[in-house]
């Protein structure tokens, strides 16, 4: 009976096998989770379309700005940095390759010019009222 117990793996062998399995499978898990996330994002983008995806992104950024302003600011700065790097890369490419290419601008919006601060139709209405007097 004692000989039968010796045929199975020892605790040390089992522990080594578990550690080896975790070390071997961990990179595969990380890669598979990354790929599944990318696939899920692509499927949701293709399902929702560009306009709705942009709305969802703006809503998520608004939520992040309301809850965690510092994190939202860091995210916006990081995205602006990547946007500037993409623009620099696109400027090096031939013009015919980049025709019609639109790169998003993640910089905070600048103050509009004085003429554009008023609604143009309100400005026209005021000009017309001044002319009628």
- For residue 79, how many other CB atoms are within 10 A of its CB? 15
Instruction: Please check the confidence at residue 1 and state whether its pLDDT lies above 60.
Output: no
CB–CB of 76/106 below 8 Å? Answer: yes
Rounded CA Rg of the chain: 29
pLDDT band at 36 (very low <50, low <70, confident <90, very high): very high
Cα 127 from chain centroid (whole Å) = 45
Instruction: Please check the confidence at residue 84 and state whether its pLDDT lies above 80.
Output: yes
DSSP assignment string, 85-99 = HHHHHHHHS-GGGST
Please give the pLDDT value at position 122.
80
CA distances in angstroms from 107 to 26, 51, 84, 115, listed in the order given: 38, 20, 10, 22
Distance CA 51, CA 62 (A): 16
Instruction: Please check the confidence at residue 34 and state whether its pLDDT lies above 60.
Output: yes
Please give the pLDDT value at position 5.
60
**Tell me: the pLDDT tens digits for 89-124?**
999 999 888 888 888 777 766 777 776 677 778 878
Distance CA 90, CA 99 (A): 10
**pTM: predicted TM-score of the whole model, two decimal places:** 0.54
Please give the pLDDT value at position 121.
81
For Cα atoms 129, 131, 133, give the angle at the middle one, nearest 5 degrees.
75
Local structure of 112: helix, strand or coil: coil
């Amino acid at each position: 009976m004692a000989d039968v117990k010796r045929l199975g793996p020892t605790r040390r062998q089992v522990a080594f096998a578990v550690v080896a399995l975790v070390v071997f499978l961990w990179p595969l898990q990380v890669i598979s989770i990354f790929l599944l996330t990318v696939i899920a994002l692509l499927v949701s983008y293709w399902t929702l379309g560009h306009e709705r995806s942009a709305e969802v992104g703006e809503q998520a950024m608004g939520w992040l700005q309301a809850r965690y302003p510092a994190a939202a600011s860091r995210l916006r700065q990081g995205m602006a940095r990547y946007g500037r790097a993409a623009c620099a890369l696109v400027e090096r490419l031939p013009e015919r390759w980049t025709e019609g290419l639109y790169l998003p601008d993640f910089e905070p919006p600048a103050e509009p010019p004085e003429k554009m601060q008023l609604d143009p139709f309100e400005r026209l209405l005021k000009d017309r009222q001044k002319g009628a007097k």
